[in-house]
Amino acid sequence: MDFSGKKALVFGSGISGIAAADLLAQMGASPIIFDGSEKVQKEDILGKIKGGYIPEIYIGQLPQEVEDRLDLVVLSPGVPTDIPLVQDFYRRGIRVWGEVELAYQVSASRKVLAVTGTNGKTTTTALLGKIMADWEESVFVVGNIGTPYTALALSMKEESVTVAEISSFQLETIDAFSPKVSAILNITEDHLNRHHTMEEYIRVKESITANQTAQDVCVLNYEDAALREFGEKMTPRCVYFSSERQLFHLPEGIYLKDRPDGRWIVWREENRETFVLRVDELKLLGQHNHENVMAAIAMAYSAGVSMESIRKSVCAFQAVPHRIEYVEEKRGVVYYNDSKATNPDAAIKGIQAMNRPTLLIAGGYDKGSEYGPWIRAFGGKVRHLVLIGQTREKIAQAAQKEGFTDILMADDLKEAVAICAEKAHEGDAALLSPACASWGQFENYEQRGDMFKEYVHKL
């Protein structure tokens, strides 16, 4: 697409919106920035702009005359596609892209490796990024992991590898986006306040393969029933990973296998097993992380990386911040930051990784989740549940319904950390694993995790 002289509306003034506006300006378009929040200040937006251009900026409401002259709309991930204004863009026939689609259209790199799924995306993407960077000369790790795709799109060359974490919000607004290797790690209930039904949420996740060909690859979790079914009908070649069974009936796959010398990650193709590494060689805790590692290995191997290089990279990889991240040991109590557990299923993984009696800090913004399965997963490990945020009463009621009554209420995260320090015994763990989004109390889960670490260090 020739962007010269095009009137392009960027809907949203967050980090991805500003990056998209900067990119459009570099491509010769005239960016118009719109943010529906009355709290946003024009001066703040102008302060984020790079490149010296002065965009048109509208706050709160978009004038009709602006809408009438648009050639393109770029939606930030946080903007729902079903709100009246966006639906009006579609009705008018205006091209509507997301930030990911814009970057893909502009970038010279076509070796794209893209990861989606409800949980595990960031760890898998970061690990895959390390594997590829250890193998290739030019690698960019972008997307929902924290660096907008649009911020680096023009730096990518034809030979560059793009490793991208892609959320369901970003997948709603793709058009031509087509990874060479994709992965859907799992699909569990999340973001139903945005997608409304599980059927729609699953459809959006599966759309990562929409433009893939039979020469491309999609890596899927065999233990997810919806994905196992999807693998039988999608266009790209399917490679499964499994933490529960050995995939002897399939032409290729990756799985866990117990031997006398430990549990191994095994790659199998053409009836030949390659024992890649023992899980105790990893610096990542928990079976969910073993699944993330298997997905990253399958993606990298499908992208042409040698298994020996993969093994070295994986064994050297450290856990990403905010995902069962070791913080510090104080008075015999080990503190872990799992702030990225923004839904109950992710928080289940955090509990499963604990090998000590645990004081659990949870609660936050209500995304319409059900907490019963998470509470049942406590499995006798949780000594006290310390609750904060908008959902604390809802979670307390769910816990009591499941027969768990060791519940303490805190007004904020700082008080919750102090309660844990007071109630913990030597040999315990204190885990921030909220099972809820951070909004309302914090800007994002990163800020929540960073504040938790700060409070722990000050104990």
The per-residue pLDDT for range 110-162, each reduced to its tens digit, is: 999 999 998 889 999 999 999 999 999 999 999 988 899 999 999 999 999 99
pLDDT at 355: 83
Count Cα atoms within 13 angstroms, Cβ side, for 101. Answer: 22
Task: Determine the Cα–Cα distance for residues 303 and 181; give it in Å rounded to an integer.
Answer: 7
| pLDDT band per the 50, 70, 90 thresholds, residue 196 | low
pLDDT at 1: 86
The answer to whether the CB of 433 falls within 8 A of the CB of 445 is no
Query: Rounded mean pLDDT of 328-334?
Result: 94
Query: Which position has the token pair 């928990």?
Result: 286
| Residue 108, H or E segment | none
Residues in contact with 235: Cβ distance below 8 Å, sequence separation at least 6, in sequence order: 209, 212, 213, 214, 216
pLDDT tens-digit series, residues 417-438: 999 999 999 999 999 999 999 9
Best CA proximity match to 305, nearest among 215, 184, 181: 181
Count Cα atoms within 13 angstroms, Cβ side, for 188. Answer: 22
| pLDDT band per the 50, 70, 90 thresholds, residue 188 | confident
More confidently predicted of 319 and 76: 76
pLDDT at 222: 97
pLDDT at 189: 67
Task: Determine the Cα–Cα distance for residues 317 and 323; give it in Å rounded to an integer.
Answer: 14
Task: Determine the Cα–Cα distance for residues 424 and 440; give it in Å rounded to an integer.
Answer: 28
- Longest Cα–Cα distance of the chain, Å, equals 72
Residue spans of the domains in the chain: they are 7-101, 107-316, 325-457
Residues in contact with 246: Cβ distance below 8 Å, sequence separation at least 6, in sequence order: 255, 257, 266, 268
Give bridge partners of residue 382 from the DSSP assignment. Answer: 358
- Cα 343-229-82 angle, rounded to 5 deg: 50
Query: Rounded mean pLDDT of 192-213?
Result: 87
Best CA proximity match to 164, nearest among 239, 119, 100, 97: 100
Query: Rounded mean pLDDT of 13-37?
Result: 95
Give Cα separations from 284 to 123, 309, 319, 454 (angstroms). 10, 18, 6, 23
Length, in residues, of the chain: 459
pLDDT at 50: 83
Residue-wise DSSP of 205-256 = HHGGGTT--TTSEEEEETT-HHHHHHHTT-SSEEEEEESS---TTSSEEEEE
Residue range 7-101 in CATH 3.40.50.261: no
On the question of pLDDT at 194 being above 80, the answer is no
Query: Rounded mean pLDDT of 240-263?
Result: 94
CATH of the domain spanning 325-457: 3.90.190.20
Tell me the whole-structure pTM to 2 decimals: 0.78
Give Cα separations from 144 to 10, 178, 204, 256, 441 (angstroms). 18, 17, 16, 28, 21
Query: Rounded mean pLDDT of 189-196?
Result: 64
CATH superfamily placement of domain 107-316: Mur-like, catalytic domain (3.40.1190.10)
- Cα 58-59-61 angle, rounded to 5 deg: 90
pLDDT tens-digit series, residues 34-54: 999 988 999 999 999 987 899
pLDDT at 321: 84
Q: Quick one: residue 348, left, alpha or beta (phi over 0 = left, psi -120 to 50 = alpha)? A: alpha
On the question of pLDDT at 450 being above 70, the answer is yes
